[in-house]
Every structure is written in C-alpha cells, then in structure tokens.
Amino acid sequence: MGISLFNLDGKIALITGSTHGLGMAMAMGLGKAGATIIVNGNSSQKKIDDAVLKYQKAGIKAFGFKFNVTKESEVINAIQEIQNNHGAIDILVNNAGIIKRTPLEEMEVHDFKEVIDVDLVSPFIVSKHIVKSMINRKQGKIINICSMMSELGRNTVGAYAAAKGGLKMLTQNMATEWAKHNIQINGIGPGYFATSQTAPIRVEGHPFNDFIVNRTPSGKWGDPNDLAGAAIFLASGASNFVNGHIIYVDGGILATIGKPSNEN
C-alpha cells in the first residue's frame, strides 16, 4: 500500500476560508498530496487571486471562488460552477470561521448569532449541498474544523465555544446519517496556533500568551503546517473506516489538567 494510501491525485478539494491561516496550511497539504484545490474566500477577489498564485507557485493546481458560506444561494451557485468547470467535489473542508471575544453578559445578540451563523450553520449549508453528489457517487470526505472550544470553555469566547461544540456534534450526526453512503465525515480540532486570529492574544508578555505556552505540554504555539498531516489523513483512503471522529492537533492541551506556572 505504501504512500498511495495518502495519495490525493485526481481529487477535487474545496476548503472554505483558504486564502490564509489554517485553511491555507491545510489546503497546501492536500494540494501537495495531489488534490486540485478550490480556494474560497469572501473578503476580496484580489485576496483570492493572490492566494491562488501562492498555491500555483507551490506547484499546486488551484482555482478561486468568491462566495459567502452563510448565503445558501451563493453556495448553491458556487458548487454548481465548480462542478461544471472542474468536476465533482471529493473533499470538503469546512474551515471558514470567525470569533468574537466578548464576555457573554456584554455580548450583543446579533454578534452571538453571527458567530453561530458562520461557524456552525455554514458547515451545514455547504455540506448539505455537496453531499448530494457524494451520495450519488457513493464516496466523499468531509472535514469540519472544530476547536479546543469544542471541548473546553474559555472566558469571552462563549459564542465561539457554542458553535464549535455544536460543530463537533454536527460532525457526529453527519457520520451517523451519511456513513452508509461510503462518506467519511470527521473533524480536526486545532489547539492554539500562530495565525491572524490569535495574533491579538499571542503578543510576547501578554498574559494569555504565557498561559497558553504553559498550558500546552509541547510548550509552544502550533505551526499551521502541523495541521496538514491530519488533513491529508482524513481526506485520503487511509481513513476510509474512520467516521465521526475529531482529531485534536493541540500539542497535548486536552491530555492534561496543566501545571503551576513555576513548574517545568
């Protein structure tokens, strides 16, 4: 079997929110394993075009599609255009997400709903419209990007934790309903990674930065490239009997109660 177990040659992979950050890191991994990458973003066409160039410079076949994952009509049209131009989507990574850090008692309802909309409802919308062709073809891979907050709470990220906790259970229910069609639906739970999303809390000397380094048995923030392996595994034939499982790539955070700050 060897490396063919992880080979993605000929596969079409859509990664939502893949113009930067963890989405791009995972998509680069899938692309280097052979997949054609469908790059998605919703900010600007220039950002998408710049990202496509980065993939192409890495020797990866990539095409950009600008659509808002929370708008069902945009999702339907984009999926149709992707399928017409490039073929059926074999691998879907629901990565697009936002976070708003506000104490719950101060959070506006519209802000809470926006986080739920992007982080929980949109994976449902995109999966619902892609799974139909996976069911017809009796094959497919869906990877939902969860979080430490799928398992743990933290001050000021209540809406995000509710969404990511829900995404873990949505992953398990997708597996329950769709596994019989030879579709594997799993999740990846990143720990604390060095990205634009965590930049505000990763400043040297910031109490949270010191907390995370101490709370993570590996003693450091993750490098986004460390996520590629889990993505390739869950997108490839190596995981054909893995379903409803969240792989935590977290440097050991969930394995431990932590240690006093003065202990090595």
* Interacting residues toward ligand GCO by CB under 6 A: 99, 101, 147-149, 154, 157, 160, 190-192, 197-198, 201
In terms of CB distance, is 129 or 202 closer to ligand GCO? 202
- Residue 133 neighbours by CB under 8 Å, 6+ apart: 83, 88, 89, 140
In terms of CB distance, is 138 or 154 closer to ligand GCO? 154
In terms of CB distance, is 41 or 189 closer to ligand GCO? 189
Q: How far is the CB of 162 from ligand GCO (least distance, A)?
A: 12
140: part of which helix (H) or strand (E)? strand 140-145
In terms of CB distance, is 112 or 160 closer to ligand GCO? 160
Query: How many angstroms separate the CA atoms of 98 and 114, rounded?
Result: 9
Q: How far is the CB of 226 from ligand GCO (least distance, A)?
A: 13
Catalytic residue (choose from 55, 160, 192, 248): 160
Q: Is 55 a catalytic residue?
A: no
DSSP string computed for 60-98:
--EEEEE--TT-HHHHHHHHHHHHHHH----EEEE----
Nearest CA to 48 out of 25, 34, 67, 35 is that of 67
CA torsion, ordered 14, 16, 22, 24, to nearest 10 deg: 50
In sequence order, the β-bridge partners of residue 246 are 187
Q: How far is the CB of 84 from ligand GCO (least distance, A)?
A: 35
Q: How far is the CB of 4 from ligand GCO (least distance, A)?
A: 32
Q: What positions carry a catalytic annotation? A: 160
